[in-house]
Structure 1
Amino acid sequence: MTPLYARHQRTALAIATTVAAGALLATGLTTGTAAADSPPAGKPALAGAPVLLSAAARTSLIQEHQASAAETAGEIGLGAKEKLVVKDVVKDADGTVHTRYERTYDGLPVLGGDLVVHEPASGGARSVTKAVRTAVKLSSVKPGIAAGKAEKQALAAAKAAGSEKTEADSAPRKVVWAADGKPVLAYETVVGGLQEDGTPNELHVITDAATGEKLHEWQGVHTGTGKGLYSGTVTLGTYKSGTTYQLYDTARGGHKTYNLARGTSGTGTLFTDADDTWGTGTASSSSTDQTAAVDAAYGAQVTWDFYKNTFGRSGIRNDGKAAYSRVHYGNAYVNAFWSDSCFCMTYGDGSGNTHPLTSLDVAGHEMSHGVTSNTAGLNYSGESGGLNEATSDIFGTGAEFYAANSSDAGDYLIGEKININGDGTPLRYMDKPSKDGASKDYWSSNLGSVDVHYSSGPANHFFYLLAEGSGSKTINGVSYNSPTYNGSTVTGIGRAKALQIWYKALTTYFTSTTNYKAARTGTLNAASALYGSTSTEYKAVAAAWTAINVS
């Protein structure tokens, strides 16, 4: 679960999200199906751009690379006790294949052992991007402490963070913890219950299996036609079953929108309607109100279309299957969240149950946490956690611009519609992140100790500079003035190219432990693959990183 915003009184937070809900005639909008192994519709076939694989083609590639995983492990120098498990495969227009692997050691998952093998179509030398370079070698996989001790420690950590109804979701599992650089035998405990604001809890706690020392923790829940409260009149994908219409989008992987009706668990009830006209466009405290459902469904379909038509990605997991959405979670719950465990988006109704957190950029932000989880898997703490949050801000912004919705025009402001602050100001500003009073504009050596919602600032700033450049300007009626660390002038390459570079870096060059310096390398590699190492785009990426003090 990943929160959209941070609460100052705690370190591990739930992401707050809002999506505009509305009412409109739903006509079952469909999208064309792109051919397998083709670039996104209407996009130039850049050599390094990903192609849109059919489900069968993607499955075939995964099976092929899993079958040769043992050979690959040997070729890249892994030990006899190490095995590779294919997590994802990306194929570029020029035939280059990037295979993302998870790793095991003596049958145990290696957290921080992920890597990507890059194989050119020419059959030339393969290269590898590793989360951790250190070899995995343990003297024993027999723990020195009982699992119960690790569980108690995890429960204590959750309670200290404000968790209620706290209990372990399952018995601690043995793992190899490698993300800090030195592989050690450890226990991973996942704590359930509720966080302090009512968000479901999925706190992962890593305990050294020899000493009982807590090594790491992170939160697994990321908290961030009809007339929408924020999106206005929109066309929705619906399905007619008998004489009743369902909020079920068969054209986008089967996305469904459910009503929790103030509940906090389960799936809820699928939204239905007699005449296919949904919502009223105004807020209501009713637990059966359709307006929030319209915005949630609209946010899901825009996010699906954005990823498919911009990057050739078919759904959050790139497998052609949709997540689902739940609205009316809890009572006056001022948050929204993405959860990998249910593979779903959930929205609260906000203050007084009349301010649903269903705005378009929030929906795109939260569902992009799912994309990150299924690609680079950036650890949700330290610098990698800031990059994780920034990735969701970047793609949430991209989805908002993609929608071209006059009721919620694209901008470089995050959460400007939901008014979480109560004074009409957005949660975050990408042109000058420090305007929110907490985010950082530039990288510094202590950035990794800052809450991830604020350590995301430099990466958001990098993206804005890469897309739009430095200095003052007005875009869609919003004024921006972006500074640089070194007083340099940065010329932007446009949002479309900046998005392509960040997406390629995320899906083929970032790993779970990527920090800001590694992100610079990854985006330069991405720019080189897409546009060439002597291109204007490559030079702009370097200049934008320098402008936020990353070199």
Structure 2
Amino acid sequence: MRHQTAFGAAAVAVGLAVAMSAPAAGATTPTAPAAPAKPDPRTVAAASADRLVAAKPAAFRKAPKDKIVRTGVTSGLRGLQYVEYQRTYDGLPVYGGDFVVTTNATGGVLSTSVGQTQKLDVGTKATVTPAQATATSRAKVDTVDSASSPRLTVLAEGTGRLVYETVVSGHQKKAETKLHVLVDAKTGKVVKTWDEVRDAADDQSYYHGTVDLSTAATSMTDPARPGHQCGGQGGTAYTGTDSAWGNGSGTNLETACVDVLYAVQKEWDMLGAWLGRNGTNGSGRGFPSRVGLSDVNAYWNGSYTNFGHNQAGTRQATSVDVVGHENGHAVFTNTPGGDSGGNGNEKGGMNESAGDIFGALTEHYINEPANLDPPDYLVGEEVDLVGSGPIRNMYNPSALGDPNCYSSSIPSTEVHSAAGPQNHWFYLLAEGSNPTNGNPTSPTCNNSTVTGIGIQKAGQIFMGGLNRKVTNWSHARARIETVNAALALFPNSATECNAVKAAWSAVSVPAQSGEAACGTQGPDFSLTLNPSSGSAQAGGTATATVSTATTSGSAQQIALSATSSPSGPTATFSPSTVTSGQSATMTVNVPAGTPDGTYRLTVLADGASVDRTATYTLTVGTSQPGTVFSDDFETNQGWTTNPGGTDTATTGQWQRGTPAPTSYSGTNLQLAAAGGSYDLVTGAAAGTDAGTYDVDGGATSVQSPAISLPSGTLTLSLSWYLAHLDNSGTDDYLRVRVVGTSGSSTVLNQTGAASIRAGAWQTATYDLSAYAGQSVRIVVDAADAGTGSLVEGGIDNVRITKS
């Protein structure tokens, strides 16, 4: 976030620049051309997943009033990419309408995780007032400190339910709570609740002796792991005259912070080295921690972790497994589907289990000797929280009164106890039912014998499942997605997949409908179109060759199909099914009466083990005057953010969205769309103040789909605005370029200045005739590239016409 009075470090604007020195006299050695930049796998995955969503709307339960919005791409182990989506219905957010598309490193779609079971079809007019919803929500909390304004939302339950969501912060029986309450907007009844606060029940640490922490010179902040720090209940990091922390006492709070930071740093390292995750939040950041909580407890509240003490008051609740547990909640929260929702307490129990699993993984990664905190599958045994040793047992949950096996009663079981079945599954997957490495035996619910695959592989599969998580998470859904994770992570082996299935069956989670078969998922193929664009008159046709090639493993059967956006043209294939390595002819049929314009056909190659997509751009009516290309951004026509993978902006990245207008002291900054609801905007959200989601940290870019231009006189027009405060400078800018096969041209170049510039929609036009007959793309760049400043920009109503 950039404010008028707070300036960030300068950043270099993104661009293509080549620095060359003049050769010495007589020199004849030619300079080798630079190798082309390797595509960012996240960009490749996003484009591939977007095309799949366009090609298979039924698979994602897309209703006519739905808008699908890609919200992020998370990179995982072995090049796997997890592309996350949310949806709105009739302009309202949909709770439970999220889904995940998993691709390999080259964009091949491996699987999809969709929790929604039906298309939405629900009225969006409330009969309950927001004030009534607020009163009902506040009544769910004993002591209320604050309550958010109710937000009208569609709950993806059956064909949909209209609800108000209110967040009530306060205390339940003296424990902190941040309770989300969903109230039916037609009946006023509470439909669902969930709490963001998740509880667990040369530096001197208490649990690890003398350790070497990564901290700043005089502050308990971690410069190597952004976001992680430790201090007291006020929220600020402890400081000192040097970087030697703690005295080793069980009651000293600085020592408690040594224990916390040591465990956090090891967990961060484990996430990267073992599981391929970039930091606690998956994007290279972590969360602060607090110690000195006056409670026999520890918790994660969605923003920070907080640690109390044991019942005897002799030590702090900061052992590796407890710290790993609470930060494990942070991982669970920051994977797709978040930590909300589910069936009763079922997802909450899986969240508690996730904390236990990450605690066990961290203990095993550190692998301390028996006199410190050795690796095991018990939770909290070193803390002795209430004077009776561990609080949970993963290899035999029933030893402490928790269920070993899944049953229909789990959704109504208290969340910590409901952690039992998944904890038991993880132990069986990692160690087996009769380990030979000194770990204890583990009973199975079906009297089977399970062979473990090792804790590192088990952790990778568990993390792969979390990366596919959706709001409506359950043990049955987790079985499906951990099977998919095993297939993707170990594509040439069935051992891991079979172990996953055996471990789930051993805790009474049976095989599910649609569950993938174990085998080897090695085969892959490529898909190309030649040409990738064409033109036709209404009533005519265009053709292209669809080529496939086997890129790994054996050849596989591929079914070909295509969808058009906007609708109109259709495609047939001869043959319609090929074996990878073969080709087919695609014939695009343009019905009589089809309006002139540009159509994007998404070609889907549905393989046995992986799906591939490609785009064919069709221009209809090239010989007549009229619109060649038009985008008012009310539908997704395939603009790509960060197409070169070199953007540096940390916030305010270009996106197609519904802007939330912002202003500063009466100066309009982010504007509503120039027409309709959507435009291209530098961060659509408003945040807590005008500078929350503006462009920060450098440059952001967005690129149009390929546009085939006909011959003739062509004109580009678009609506635009650039807004900034007087902390801007000439390094800040908004630029629009046209890039074709013969070069590029700058359509618009607006720079910042040390003055206030209010946002105002304007129109730019440009003669594109020089690009007639070429395939071009429109590229839009914006930057906060000097000292930190408040910069906003928008683009709307892009149109190319032929006269």
TM-score bracket, shorter-length normalisation? 0.7 to 0.9
TM-score, normalised on structure 2?
Answer: 0.55
Asked if 2 retains the 8 angstrom alpha-carbon contact of 1:416 and 1:426, the reply is yes
Q: Tell me if the contact between 2:77 and 2:489 (Cα under 8 Å) persists in the aligned partners.
A: no
Structure number with greater Rg is: 2
Distance 1:300 1:119, change over 3 A: closer
> Counting helix residues as a fraction of each chain, which structure ranks higher?
1
Instruction: Give yes or no for contact 1:316–1:370 (8 Å, CA) kept in 2.
Output: yes
1:352 Cα offset (Å): 6.5
Choose the corresponding residue for 1:413, options 378, 382, 402: 378
The question of whether the paired residues in 2 share the 8 Å contact of 1:345 and 1:366 is answered with yes
- 2:400 corresponding residue in structure 1: 436
> In the alignment, does 2:238 pair up with 1:276?
no
Q: Deviations over 1:221-270 (max 9, x none)?
A: 11134222222221101112xxxx2112111125221222xxxxx52x32
Distance 1:66 1:487 in 2: 42
User: How far did residue 460 of structure 1 move?
Assistant: 0.6
Instruction: Please say if residues 76 and 276 of structure 2, whose CA atoms lie closer than 8 Å, have aligned partners that are also in contact.
Output: no
2:502 is aligned to: 543
Deviations 1:276-335 (A, max 9, x none): 221111123x6xx41111111112211211111112212122111221111123xx3111
From 129, 150, 154, give the equivalent of 1:176. 154
- Cα pair 1:255 1:323 within 8 Å, conserved: yes
Of 392, 405, 422, 1:459 maps to: 422
Q: Give the aligned partner of residue 387 of structure 1.
A: 350
Contact (CA 8 Å) 1:84, 1:102: kept in 2 or not? Answer: yes
Match status 1:251 vs 2:224: yes
- 1:4-15 to structure 2, matched below 5 A, reads none
Aligned pairs for 1:89-488 within 5 A: 89-91=73-75, 97-119=81-103, 127-138=111-122, 140-159=123-142, 164=143, 166-178=144-156, 180-198=157-175, 200-224=176-200, 225-240=202-217, 245-260=218-233, 266-267=234-235, 269-284=236-251, 289-329=253-293, 332-340=294-302, 343-351=303-311, 354-376=314-336, 377-379=338-340, 381-406=344-369, 407-423=372-388, 425-437=389-401, 439-471=402-434, 475=438, 480-488=440-448
Q: In 1, distance between residues paired with 2:44 and 2:289?
A: 30
Q: CA offset at residue 93 of structure 1?
A: 6.5
1:60, 1:515 → 2: CA distance?
30
Note the C-alpha offset of 1:79: 2.7
CA 1:107–1:304: 2 relative to 1, 3 Å: same
Q: Cα distance 1:252–1:152, how it changes in 2: closer, same or farther (>3 A)?
A: same
1:47 is aligned to: none
- Relative to structure 1, the CA distance from residue 230 to residue 57 in structure 2 (aligned partners, 3 Å threshold; closer, same or farther) is farther
- Supply the distance in 1 between the matched residues of 2:42 and 2:435 (Cα, whole angstroms): 47
Shift of the alpha carbon at 1:77? 5.5
* 2:275 maps to amino acid: F
- In structure 2, runs of 5+ residues without a counterpart are 1-38, 511-803
Letter aligned with residue 210 of structure 2:
T
Aligned partner of 2:790 in structure 1 is: none
Change (3 A) 1:68 1:484: closer
Structure 2 CA distance for aligned equivalents of residues 206 and 501 of structure 1: 33
**Corresponding residue number in structure 1 for 2:642:** none
Q: Distance in 2 between matches of 1:65 and 1:334?
A: 49
Q: Taking structure 1 as reference, are residues 58 and 322 closer, same or farther at Cα in structure 2, changes over 3 Å only?
A: farther
Do 1:226 and 1:279's aligned partners in 2 also have CA atoms closer than 8 Å? yes
Helix, strand or coil for the counterpart of 2:449?
A: coil
RMSD across aligned positions (CA): 2.7
Establish whether residue 517 from structure 1 lines up as the match of residue 476 from structure 2.
yes
Once the two structures are superposed, residues 11-57 of structure 1 have per-residue CA deviations (whole angstroms, 9 ceiling, x without a partner) of: xxxxxxxxxxxxxxxxxxxxxxxxxxxxxxxxxxxxxxxxxxxxx95
Contact 1:66/1:86 (<8 A) preserved: no
Distance change in 2, residues 1:316/1:87 (3 Å): farther
Residue identity in the other structure for 1:307: L
More strand by share: 2
Q: Is the 8 A contact 1:58 1:89 kept in 2?
A: no
Counterpart-to-counterpart distance in 2, 1:520 and 1:118: 16
Following TM superposition, by how much is the alpha carbon of 1:212 offset from its aligned partner in structure 2, in angstroms? 0.7
Q: Structure 1: give runs of 5+ residues left out of the alignment.
A: 1-55, 261-265
Counterpart in the other structure of 1:27: none
Maintained 8 Å contact 1:226/1:236: yes
Instruction: For 2:261 and 2:108, locate their aligned partners in 1 and report how far apart those are by CA, in whole Å.
Output: 45
Partner deviation per Cα, 1:377-403 (whole Å, 9 max, x = no partner): 243643222222211111111011111
Aligned CA distance change for structure 1 residues 213 and 495 (closer, same or farther; 3 Å): same
CA distance in 2, matches of 1:303, 1:283: 22
Distance in 1 between residues matched to 2:298 and 2:162, nearest whole Å = 35
Quick one: distance in 1 between partners of 2:424 and 2:92?
39
Whether the aligned pair in 1 keeps the contact of 2:182 and 2:192 (CA below 8 Å) is: yes
Deviates more, 1:481-490 or 1:343-352: 343-352
Deviations 1:88-132 (A, max 9, x none): 313466755331112221222211111012345666667531111
Change (3 A) 1:123 1:531: closer
The SS at the match of 2:141 is: helix
Distance 2:134 2:270 in 1: 41
Query: In the superposition, relative to structure 1, how do residues 57 and 374 fare at CA in structure 2: closer, same or farther (>3 Å)?
Result: farther
Q: Is the 8 A contact 2:204 2:247 kept in 1?
A: yes
Secondary structure at 1:389's aligned position in 2?
helix
Q: Does 1:527 align with 2:502?
A: no
Secondary structure class of the residue paired with 1:273: coil
Q: Residues 481 and 92 (structure 1 numbering): CA distance in 2 closer, same or farther, change over 3 Å?
A: closer
Conserved? CA contact 2:479–2:501, under 8 Å: yes
Paired AA for residue 194 in structure 1: H
SS class of match (2:153)? strand
- Once residues 514 and 467 of structure 1 are traced to their aligned partners in structure 2, the CA distance between those partners, rounded to angstroms, is 22
Separation (CA, whole Å) in 1 of partners of 2:98 and 2:126: 23
Q: Tell me how far apart the structure 1 counterparts of residues 129 and 56 of structure 2 sit (CA, whole Å).
A: 32
Asked if 2 retains the 8 angstrom alpha-carbon contact of 1:66 and 1:85, the reply is no
Q: Distance in 2 between matches of 1:223 and 1:487?
A: 33
CA distance in 1, matches of 2:275, 2:72: 15
CA distance in 2 between partners of 1:435 and 1:546 (Å): 20
Q: Which amino acid aligns with 1:548?
A: V
Please report how far the alpha carbon of residue 183 of structure 1 lies from its aligned counterpart in structure 2 after TM superposition.
1.4
The question of whether the paired residues in 1 share the 8 Å contact of 2:48 and 2:109 is answered with no
| Partner-residue secondary structure (3-state), 1:408 | coil
Secondary structure at the aligned position of 2:73 is classed as strand
Normalising by the residue count of structure 1, what TM-score does the alignment of the two structures yield? Answer: 0.78
Instruction: Report the Cα distance in structure 1 between the residues aligned to 2:192 and 2:330, rounded to whole angstroms.
Output: 21
Residue type of the alignment partner of 1:87: T
